[in-house]
Structure 1
Amino acid sequence: MSDHKQLVLDEVRTYHRETAPDREFVPGVTEIWPSGAVLDEEDRVAIVEAALTLRIAAGPSSKKFESAFAKRLKRRKAHLTNSGSSANLLAVSALTSHQLGERRLKPGDEVITVAAGFPTTVNPILQNGLVPVFVDVDLATYNTTADRVARAIGPKTRAIIIAHALGNPFEVAEVAQLARDHDLFLIEDNCDAVGSTYDGQITGTFGDLTTVSFYPAHHLTMGEGGCVLTSDLGLARIVESLRDWGRDCWCEPGKNNTCFKRFEYQMGDLPAGYDHKYIFSHVGYNLKGTDIQAALGLSQLAKLDGFIEARRRNWRRLREGLDGVPGLLLPEPTPRSEPSWFGFVITVDPEAPFSRAELVEHLEERKIGTRRLFAGNLTRQPAYIGRPHRVVGDLTNSDVITEHTFWIGVYPGLTDEMVDYMTATVKEFVARHG
């Protein structure tokens, strides 16, 4: 490292220390966010060091992160994207590729998913002309079950895409077995669950494809960003093509002739020898990330174990502190799982002498941030009314979630004092309304 560069980075460290915010917690005054990025001195240095290279597109940091993250999640390939939502779009779109032959998903094919979740798990189904098949969830785990998925499989079913709800794994081993038995693709939306395990196996390793988000709310952050992972090299190649404009070439930006046959291809109706860098085998997108984002991701990845443990510790503290409080339905880990929690979800009993809205208002007035369990029952959202879909069974619990459920934070930026204040504030409200 040059002396000048070292001087710049030393100044960045000094700047970070001098501008660090006051971390004193004042109950009822200091805002407690339900989620957020935890960024330190090393993260700031990583961003600046990457910026100094002026490598503003994807580059060495991106490749290094993809390799390290694939290894961490025990997948053969990882492809960075500009968001977790784009990762879901790529994962579903990859299953429609002509390169899959008769296995490819075609317009009108059905994909099983859950009604209570985040829209971008479901949107790619509709965006690809496929039909979502909605199933309900349990109120203890906020996940669907393998039995519900099994009942939803019909003659047009070709794939399953389900998110691990708020970091809590669904019955993914059983669902993966259903997928194998019925020759279905399985996509795990692992955006909220990096580090979770089911039967001792990390989530994101059961399906054909898995997706991750690096938005600031998630376990690791790049500011924006996401990732698609798989151990199927054929699917990985399709994902890469769709992410990179749909091109057939696999050279990295700024590189040429990796295959040593750049001017020897004949594809489609193009003339023989057409430059492979400009042959397009898919109708794709440009959904890549940048090297500066990846540099931050690498710095964050080094802290992942600590982040996971902090999330679990904060969740346990809330669960123990609120245990037995009347009128509240508290969350439970899925049996045989060890979640890497995204949030602490609470459902107000419909028979309670107070409402979710009243409890949320009480918390928000005291600077405790809350969030809904995303979209609630998606079939009731204006974006999905009139859209093709099928419902199997009832969506009773999804409707309960829409009316009565919210969550509060467990992210690593919270201190024990903050968690205890959240617990005390909930108990104070319930006691007043008992």
Structure 2
Amino acid sequence: MSDHKALILDEVRKYHLEREDGHGFVPGVTEIWPSGAVLDEADRVALVEAALDMRIAAGSSSRRFESRFARRMGRRKAHLTNSGSSANLLAMTALTSPQLEDRRLRPGDEVITVAAGFPTTVNPILQNGLIPVFVDVDLGTYNATADRVAAAIGPRTRAIMIAHALGNPFEVAEIAQLAEDHDLFLIEDNCDAVGSTYDGRLTGTFGDLTTVSFYPAHHLTMGEGGCVLTANLALARIVESLRDWGRDCWCEPGESNKCLKRFDYQMGTLPAGYDHKYIFSHVGYNLKTTDLQAALGLTQLEKLDEFVEARRRNWRRLSEGLADVPWLLLPRATPRSDPSWFGFVLTVDPQAPFSRAELVAFLEDRRIGTRRLFAGNLTRHPAYIDQPHRVVGSLTNSDIVTEQTFWVGVYPGLTDEMLDYMIASVREFVEARG
């Protein structure tokens, strides 16, 4: 490292310490965010160092992160992309690849998913001309059950794509077994659940494909970013092709002839010897990340265990502090799971002497940030009303989520003082209306 570079990075460390000084919590004044990035000195230095080295495209840091994250998640391959939503798009689109031959998904095939959740778990199903089959969730866990998924399997069902709700695992072992028994693909949307386990095994290790988000609200951040993981090398190759314009070549940027037969291919009706770097086997996208993002991801990854434990600790503090509050349904972990919680979900009893909106307004007035359980029942939104879909069973609980449910934060940036203020505020509101 040059003397000039070392001096700049030392100044960055000093700047970070200056920025972090004197930010005490003032109840009712300091914003308590429901989620957010937790960035330290190492993160700031990593970003600046990547910028100094002009690592402005995907490169060595991206490859290093992919390798380390795949090992950490117990998968053979990880492919970075520009968002968790793009990761979902790549994962679902990969299942339509002609390279899968008879197993490929075709327009009109069905994919089982959950009605109450985030739209970009469902959008890739529709964007690929497939039919979402919606099932309901359980209140408390906010997940679909294996029984509901089993009831939704029909003659055109080809895949299951479900998110682990706010870090709480769905019955993923049982649903993975259903997928195996019925020759279905399983995509785990693990964007909110990095570090969660089911039966002692990490979520994201049960499905054919797994997706992760690195948006600042999530467990790890790159600012923006996402990832597709798999243990299936054929699927990994398809995902990489789709992410990188649809090209058939697997050389990294700046590489050529990694396969040692760059000019020996004949594909499609192209002339023999056509440059493999410019042969396209999929109708793809350009959804790559940059080394600036990956440099931040590498330092964040070192803190994953710390982040997961903080989320669990904060969730327990809220759960214990609100356990005896009437009219509120508190969240519960799916049996046999250990969630890496994304948020603390509260559902107001419809018979309560107050509304969800009144409680949320009270908390927001006290600078306690709240969020809905994303879209609630997606089938009620204008974007989806006229989209082709099938519903199995009632969506009663998804409707309750739409009307009565919200969540508050448990992310590692929250202090005990903030959490206790949140508890006291909820208790004060309920007791005043009790």
TM range, normalised to the smaller chain?
Answer: over 0.9
2-structure distance, mates of 1:23, 1:301? 25
Counterpart mapping for 1:232-243 below 5 A: 232-243=232-243
Q: Percent identity?
A: 82
**3-state SS of 1:188 partner:** strand
Q: Are 2:320 and 1:326 equivalent residues in the alignment?
A: no
TM-score, normalised with respect to structure 2: 1.00
**Amino acid paired to 1:63:** R
2:256: which partner in 1? 256
2-structure distance, mates of 1:384, 1:19? 45
1-structure distance, mates of 2:217, 2:21? 19
Instruction: Using the TM superposition, give the Cα deviation of residue 324 of structure 1 relative to its aligned residue in structure 2, in angstroms.
Output: 1.6
1-structure distance, mates of 2:357, 2:114? 24
Instruction: Using the TM superposition, give the Cα deviation of residue 15 of structure 1 relative to its aligned residue in structure 2, in angstroms.
Output: 1.2
Instruction: Using the TM superposition, give the Cα deviation of residue 60 of structure 1 relative to its aligned residue in structure 2, in angstroms.
Output: 0.2
**Amino acid paired to 1:193:** A
2:118: which partner in 1? 118
Instruction: Using the TM superposition, give the Cα deviation of residue 41 of structure 1 relative to its aligned residue in structure 2, in angstroms.
Output: 0.6
**3-state SS of 2:31 partner:** coil
2-structure distance, mates of 1:19, 1:432? 40
2:365: which partner in 1? 365
1-structure distance, mates of 2:121, 2:131? 13
Instruction: Using the TM superposition, give the Cα deviation of residue 17 of structure 1 relative to its aligned residue in structure 2, in angstroms.
Output: 1.3
2-structure distance, mates of 1:216, 1:101? 38
Instruction: Using the TM superposition, give the Cα deviation of residue 14 of structure 1 relative to its aligned residue in structure 2, in angstroms.
Output: 1.1
1-structure distance, mates of 2:357, 2:8? 50
1:160: which partner in 2? 160
Cα displacement string for residues 16-75 of structure 1 (whole angstroms, at most 9, x for unaligned residues):
112225321111110000000000110000001111111211000000000000000000
**3-state SS of 1:166 partner:** coil
Instruction: Using the TM superposition, give the Cα deviation of residue 90 of structure 1 relative to its aligned residue in structure 2, in angstroms.
Output: 0.2
**Amino acid paired to 1:402:** T
Q: Are 2:326 and 1:355 equivalent residues in the alignment?
A: no
Which structure 1 segments of 5+ residues have no match? Answer: none
1:23: which partner in 2? 23
**3-state SS of 1:112 partner:** strand
**Amino acid paired to 1:335:** P
TM-score, normalised with respect to structure 1: 1.00
Cα displacement string for residues 174-221 of structure 1 (whole angstroms, at most 9, x for unaligned residues):
000000000000000000000000000000000000000000000000
2:67: which partner in 1? 67
2-structure distance, mates of 1:68, 1:220? 14
Counterpart mapping for 1:257-406 below 5 A: 257-406=257-406
1-structure distance, mates of 2:13, 2:56? 22
1:53: which partner in 2? 53
2-structure distance, mates of 1:238, 1:338? 32
Counterpart mapping for 1:116-265 below 5 A: 116-265=116-265
Cα displacement string for residues 134-183 of structure 1 (whole angstroms, at most 9, x for unaligned residues):
00000010001000000000000000000000000000000000000000
Q: Are 2:429 and 1:429 equivalent residues in the alignment?
A: yes
2-structure distance, mates of 1:48, 1:82? 20
1-structure distance, mates of 2:401, 2:208? 29
**3-state SS of 1:165 partner:** coil
Cα displacement string for residues 339-372 of structure 1 (whole angstroms, at most 9, x for unaligned residues):
0000000000001010000000000000000000
2-structure distance, mates of 1:332, 1:282? 43
Q: Are 2:40 and 1:40 equivalent residues in the alignment?
A: yes
1-structure distance, mates of 2:23, 2:162? 38
**3-state SS of 2:166 partner:** helix
**Amino acid paired to 1:190:** N
**Amino acid paired to 2:369:** G
2-structure distance, mates of 1:353, 1:19? 44
**3-state SS of 1:246 partner:** coil
**3-state SS of 1:160 partner:** strand
How many positions carry a matched residue from both structures?
A: 434
User: What RMSD, in angstroms, separates the aligned Cα atoms of the two structures?
Assistant: 0.5
1:81: which partner in 2? 81
**Amino acid paired to 1:259:** C
2-structure distance, mates of 1:331, 1:261? 56
**Amino acid paired to 1:350:** P
**Amino acid paired to 1:423:** I
2-structure distance, mates of 1:22, 1:179? 53
**Amino acid paired to 1:189:** D
Instruction: Using the TM superposition, give the Cα deviation of residue 233 of structure 1 relative to its aligned residue in structure 2, in angstroms.
Output: 0.1
Q: Are 2:11 and 1:4 equivalent residues in the alignment?
A: no
Counterpart mapping for 1:404-423 below 5 A: 404-423=404-423
**Amino acid paired to 2:320:** E
2-structure distance, mates of 1:342, 1:184? 28
**Amino acid paired to 2:8:** V
Structure 1 range deviating more: 48-57 or 409-418: 48-57
Instruction: Using the TM superposition, give the Cα deviation of residue 4 of structure 1 relative to its aligned residue in structure 2, in angstroms.
Output: 1.6
1-structure distance, mates of 2:14, 2:389? 56
2-structure distance, mates of 1:165, 1:106? 28
**3-state SS of 1:123 partner:** helix
